[in-house]
Amino acid sequence: MENVSDQELRRLLSAKGHSIGPITNTTRSIYQKLYTKLLEEEDRAIEVKLGSPIQSPKPDPADTPVLRNKLKRSPLTDDEKLSEATFSVPEEKKKKGIPTYVAPSLRRSTIERTALSKKLAEEAGETNPKKSSLRVPGVRVTETSASLKTKIDAAEKAETKQTRGLSNTNKLNVTMGSTPGYMRATSSTLKKDSKKDAGSKKTATPVTKRDKDYIPKVGGSAIRKAKDTPSAAPKSKGGPAASGKKKRAPWDVKGRLEDVTNLYSALKVEKEDMEEKMTDLEADVEQKTEDLEILKIENDKLKSDLTSTTEQLSEVNMKCHEQQFKLDEAVVERNEKVASYERVKRERDELEEDFSRTKSKMREAENRADDLERDLRRANNAREEVEENLAKSKKHVGELDDKIEELKQDIEKLNTTIANKDSKICEIERILEKERGEKGDVHNVLRRKEEHIEHLDSKIASLEKTIKDLNETVAEKNNKIDSLEGNLSKEQRNHRDINRVLSDRESQICDLDQKLAVCTERLLAGEKLRRKLHNTIQELKGNIRVYCRVRPFLSSEVITGQPTHEIPQMDFGKDNSNITISSLQGEKLGRKGELLNNSFNFDHVFGPRHTQEDTFAEVSGLVQSALDGYNVCIFAYGQTGSGKTHTMQGPIDPTSEYRGIIPRAMEQVFKTGEEMADQGWNYVFTASFLEIYNENLHDLISSSDSKIEIKLVNEKSREVEVTNVKSIIVQNCYDVHELLLKANKNRTVAATKCNERSSRSHSVFRLKIEGKNTKNGDTCVGNLNLVDLAGSERVAHSGSTGQRLKEAQAINTSLSELGNVMMALQEKKTHIPYRNSKLTYLLCNSLGGNSKTLMFVNVSPLDKHTNESINSLRFASKVNKVDLGTAKKNK
C-alpha cells in the first residue's frame, strides 16, 4: 500500500462506497488500513466461494464479492474453471504500479459477458448453425446442437409428408387464413418474446431464433432455407400466416392436418423451452435471493467495519489530541528554552559588559600605573630638580655670602661714610651751631638723613636675618644630605653583606642537597640491606617457628595464698627454649602411677611470668617482614582456656597493658609506615576479619549473609582470594579498635564445660600491606595473618553432645588437617592437602613456600589439663620440625 498515491487511494475507497475526507499524514495510514481490510475481506469471500485459498494475498480493487457471486452462477467447464484460477496483472495496473491479481472471467461484468456470448453465438450461427451450442464462459446458451438437429429432422419429415400430401387429394380444407386463434396468439406471443429477447442482453438464445425459424416452417423449403442459409431466417419472420407464402387449398385436408401436427409439435417444443426458461428464472431468483443475503451480510460487516474504523478514528483523534498536547508542551518547553537562552544571552552580554568594564578598569589601572610611572619619573625629575635647586641654593648661598660680604663692605663703607658723615655732621653741627638758628632746614635734612640711616639699619638687620635663615636652611639641608648619604652607604654596605651571606647560604644549601642525595641513597641502600639482613635473621631463626606459652593461674583457679606464677608440674629451662612437663603414667585404681618428664624444645618458651610485651618483642620481627613484603602467619594453638585469645588479641581496650599481638602489630605497622614515609614509602593497610565455624566462613566485620568462598587465584604462588568478604582500609589504631569491637560482637562463642566463654571457631585477622616507594619506584605487598584457633581439646574431654559435638568434630578435623599439611610439608610431598579444610585452604599461602609462619602453642597451667597440654606440645614439636624453605618477597 505504500506505493499508492493519495489520489489513487481516494479513488479506490470511493469505488468501495466510502466517502473520505482530506488525506493527511495522520489519516493516510488509517485509510490505507481500512482499504487493506476491505480487500482482505473480499479475498476471504473469494476463497469461500471458490473453495480454494487464493495464492496471492494482493487483492484487485476492481473486484467485488457481488460480481464474483454473480459470476459463480455461470456454469463453467473444467477448462474455464482452470482459467478462472489463473492470475494475471492487467497492463493498465502494471503501468500504475498497483500490485494486484486478476481473475479475468471473474472480473468480467455481466454486460460484457452477455455481449461476448451474443457475439459468439451469432458468429456460431452464421458460420455453422450446428455449432450454436458453443459455450461461452459465463453465458447460458439454451439450445444444443442435438435439439437443433432434432428440429431439423422433424421439419424435413414434415416437408416429406407435405409433399406426399400434395400428391394426394386434398382431404383437409384448411387455409392459412383460417389458422386457429390460439395458433395466431402463440405466434404473436412468440414474436413479442422474440422482440423482448432481442432487446435483452441475455437473449442471444437460440430459442427466439428457433421460434423465428420454426413457426413459419409449414413448407419444407422454408425449413431447408432455414437450415441451409441461416441469414435467410429473419426473412421468415412472422411465420407463414404473416408471410402468406404457402396457402393450402381448402381441400388439402391432409396438408392442413400436417401443418397442425407440425404446429403442435413446435408448440410442444416451445412449451418445453418455456418450462426450461422458467426453471432458469427460478434458479436466477434463488441466486438473486442468495446474493441479497450475502449483500446484507456484507452490509453488516461493512457497518461493523465502519464502527471499528470510527472507533479507530476516535482513537486517532485522541492520539492527535495527545500529540497536540505534547506539541503544546514542546512549544512551551521550547519557549522556556528560548527564554532561558535569552537569559543566558543577557547574562553573557552582562558578562561581556563586565568583562569590557573590567578590561577598561584594567586599562585605567594600566593608565594609572603609567601615570604612577610618570609620577615616579616626575618625582625623580623633581628630585633631580631639588638636587639642582639644592645646588643652585648652594650657589645662591654662595652668592648671598658674597652679597653679605659686599653688604658688609657696604656697611663698612656706610659706617665710614656715616663716620665721615658724623664728622661732617659734627662739622655741620658745628656749622649748624654756628648757623643754628640760621638755617632751620638743615635740621630737616638731618632728620631725613637719620631716618634714612634708620631705614638702612633695619634693612641691614632684615638682610642679616635672611642670611641667618638661609644659612640655617642650608645647614639643615646639608645635615639631611649628610644623613641620607650616611644611610645610603650604610644600606649599600648592608646589601653587600646580605648578598654575601646569601651566596654563602646558597652554596651551603647546594652542599647540603648533595649531601642529602648521598644520604638518601645511602639510606635506601641501608634500608635494602636492613631488609635483607632482617630476612636473613628471620630465615636463620627459621621460616616456621614455634613458641610455647604457658599462662599463669587465674585468680579463680588458685587456692588462697598459692602463687599464680608457680606451676608445680612444669619446669622451664634457663634459656627460654625448653619446657618439661611431668605427668603420671599408668595410674590406675589402687595403684600409683609413674611420674614421667615430657621435655620439649621450641624456638622460645614463655612462662607464666612473661608479659604481653615480652611476647610481642619476639613477634615484631615477623611484623616487620610483613611490612617488607612477606607473607606472615601467626597462629595460636591450644586447648580451650589456654590463653590463645589473650595472646593474639587480649582485652579490647587499646590502652591496656594486656593488649595482645593484633593491636600491638597494628601499632607497629602504623608507626613504621610513618617513619618510612621519610624514605619515600607510602603504605596502604587493608584489614579483614574472618571466622571459620563448622567449616563455614563468616565475615566478622560485616552483617552480610552472602556466601563466602575461597578461590585459588594463583596456583603457583598459592595466592587465594576470599569472595564476599568486607575489607576495610585502616589508617590508625582507632580504626583497628573499632574493627576489633565489631568482630568481637559477631564472633560465635558458646559455653562449654571447659571454659565459660569458649571460642568454638577459628578467627583469622588479615592485614594486607601494600607499599610503594615514590623515590625509587620500589613496591611490596605483604600479608599478615593473625589466627586464633579454636580449642584443640579432644571431644571426649569437653563432654559435648549434639551441636557442640558437631562443632568440636569440625574443629578437630580442621586442626588434624592442619597437622597433615604440616606433615606433608615436612616430608616434602608433592601434594600438600591444603584443600582438605577451610582453615588450611585459607592459610595455604602462609603455610609453606613463600611465607613465614609462627605458631604459638598455648598451654594451661592446670594439672588436670596436663595430658591435653602434652598433646598440644607434641603437635607443636612436630610442626617445629617442618622446614618451609626460603621465603620470597612479594613485589
Contact flag: residue 644 with ligand ATP (CB under 6 A): yes
Given the rule CB under 6 A, which of 56-64, 411-419, 596-604, 638-646 is the region that contacts ligand ATP?
A: 638-646
Among 230, 239, 552, 861, binds ligand ATP (CB under 6 A): 552
In the complex, residue closest to ligand ATP by CB:
643
E-only strand ranges, 24-76: none
CB of 790 to ligand ATP, least distance (A): 6
CB of 537 to ligand ATP, least distance (A): 26
Residues 6+ apart with CB under 8 A from 186: 267, 270
CB of 857 to ligand ATP, least distance (A): 11
Given the rule CB under 6 A, which of 401-409, 546-554, 616-624, 695-703 is the region that contacts ligand ATP?
A: 546-554
Radius of gyration of the chain (CA): 71
CB of 891 to ligand ATP, least distance (A): 36
CB of 859 to ligand ATP, least distance (A): 10
Pairing outcome for strands 544-550 and 852-859? parallel
Tally of CB atoms within 10 A around 850: 21
CB of 649 to ligand ATP, least distance (A): 8
Q: Of all helices (H) and strands (E), which one includes residue 507?
A: helix 441-541
- Distance CA(874)–CA(653), nearest Å, equals 34
What is the contact mask toward ligand ATP in residues 819 to 858, using x (rule: CB under 6 A)? ---------------------------------------x
Minimum CB distance to ligand ATP smaller for 230 or for 641 = 641
Contact flag: residue 551 with ligand ATP (CB under 6 A): yes
Given the rule CB under 6 A, which of 6-14, 551-559, 566-574, 838-846 is the region that contacts ligand ATP?
A: 551-559
Given the rule CB under 6 A, which of 127-135, 142-150, 473-481, 549-557 is the region that contacts ligand ATP?
A: 549-557
Given the rule CB under 6 A, which of 291-299, 644-652, 719-727, 738-746 is the region that contacts ligand ATP?
A: 644-652
Contact flag: residue 663 with ligand ATP (CB under 6 A): no
Minimum CB distance to ligand ATP smaller for 226 or for 810 = 810
Minimum CB distance to ligand ATP smaller for 68 or for 865 = 865
Minimum CB distance to ligand ATP smaller for 543 or for 763 = 763
CB of 513 to ligand ATP, least distance (A): 52
Task: Give the phi and the psi of residue 659 in degrees, each rounded to 5.
Answer: -60, 145
Among 61, 230, 641, 782, binds ligand ATP (CB under 6 A): 641
CB of 571 to ligand ATP, least distance (A): 18
CB of 862 to ligand ATP, least distance (A): 11
Angle at 118 (CA atoms; ends 117, 122), nearest 5 degrees: 115
Minimum CB distance to ligand ATP smaller for 100 or for 639 = 639
- Distance CA(744)–CA(300), nearest Å, equals 84
- Distance CA(772)–CA(685), nearest Å, equals 12
Minimum CB distance to ligand ATP smaller for 305 or for 863 = 863
- Burial zone of 851 (CB within 10 Å; 0-12 exposed, 13-18 middle, 19+ buried): buried
CB of 578 to ligand ATP, least distance (A): 19
CB of 785 to ligand ATP, least distance (A): 17
Task: Give the phi and the psi of residue 57 in degrees, each rounded to 5.
Answer: -80, -5
Kindly tell me the number of DSSP H helices and DSSP E strands found in the chain. 23, 16
Among 59, 216, 638, 771, binds ligand ATP (CB under 6 A): 638
Which of the 8 DSSP states describes residue 707?
Answer: P
Minimum CB distance to ligand ATP smaller for 236 or for 858 = 858
CA dist list (Å): 246 to 255, 576, 858:
11, 169, 157
Task: Spell 565-597 as b/e; 16+ CB within 10 A means b.
Answer: eebebbebeeebeebebbbeeeeeeeeeeeeee
CB of 730 to ligand ATP, least distance (A): 23
CB of 738 to ligand ATP, least distance (A): 22
* Residue recorded with cell 387464413: 177
Minimum CB distance to ligand ATP smaller for 642 or for 850 = 642
Given the rule CB under 6 A, which of 64-72, 89-97, 212-220, 639-647 is the region that contacts ligand ATP?
A: 639-647
CA dist list (Å): 173 to 169, 257, 261:
10, 9, 15
Task: Give the phi and the psi of residue 827 in degrees, each rounded to 5.
Answer: -80, 5
Q: Of all helices (H) and strands (E), which one includes residue 693?
A: strand 681-693
Among candidate residues 210, 200, 55, 70, the one with its CA nearest the CA of residue 129? 210
Contact flag: residue 554 with ligand ATP (CB under 6 A): yes
Given the rule CB under 6 A, which of 400-408, 637-645, 678-686, 849-857 is the region that contacts ligand ATP?
A: 637-645
Q: Residues 117, 141: contact at Cβ < 8 Å?
A: yes
CB of 839 to ligand ATP, least distance (A): 15
Among candidate residues 50, 16, 54, the one with its CA nearest the CA of residue 36? 16
Minimum CB distance to ligand ATP smaller for 132 or for 759 = 759
Among candidate residues 847, 707, 695, the one with its CA nearest the CA of residue 785? 847
Minimum CB distance to ligand ATP smaller for 783 or for 858 = 858
Minimum CB distance to ligand ATP smaller for 646 or for 838 = 646
Contact flag: residue 576 with ligand ATP (CB under 6 A): no
Contact flag: residue 236 with ligand ATP (CB under 6 A): no
CB of 641 to ligand ATP, least distance (A): 5
Adjacent-strand bridge partners of 750: 758
Helix (H, G, I), strand (E, B) or coil at 861: coil
Task: Give the phi and the psi of residue 687 in degrees, each rounded to 5.
Answer: -115, 145
CB of 624 to ligand ATP, least distance (A): 24
Contact flag: residue 219 with ligand ATP (CB under 6 A): no
Contact flag: residue 659 with ligand ATP (CB under 6 A): no
Residues in 739-778 at the binding interface with ligand ATP, rule: CB under 6 A: 755, 758-759
- Distance CA(270)–CA(467), nearest Å, equals 178
CB of 549 to ligand ATP, least distance (A): 7
Q: Residues 610, 620: contact at Cβ < 8 Å?
A: no
Among 646, 737, 766, 838, binds ligand ATP (CB under 6 A): 646
Contact flag: residue 640 with ligand ATP (CB under 6 A): yes
Q: How many residues bind ligand ATP (CB under 6 A)?
A: 16
Helices (H), 712-774: 733-746
Adjacent-strand bridge partners of 770: 684, 781
Angle at 887 (CA atoms; ends 881, 890), nearest 5 degrees: 150
* Residue recorded with cell 641513597: 521
- Distance CA(260)–CA(521), nearest Å, equals 154
Contact flag: residue 113 with ligand ATP (CB under 6 A): no
Among candidate residues 44, 79, 76, 78, the one with its CA nearest the CA of residue 63? 44
Q: How many residues does the structure list for the chain?
A: 891
Residues 6+ apart with CB under 8 A from 98: 3, 4, 8, 61
CB of 542 to ligand ATP, least distance (A): 24
- Distance CA(273)–CA(210), nearest Å, equals 10
Residues in 776-805 at the binding interface with ligand ATP, rule: CB under 6 A: 791
Residues in 858-887 at the binding interface with ligand ATP, rule: CB under 6 A: 858
Task: Name the percent of the chain in helix, strand, coil, to the closest 5.
Answer: 60, 10, 30
Among 187, 194, 208, 642, binds ligand ATP (CB under 6 A): 642
Binding site for ligand ATP (CB under 6 A): 551-552, 554, 638, 640-646, 755, 758-759, 791, 858
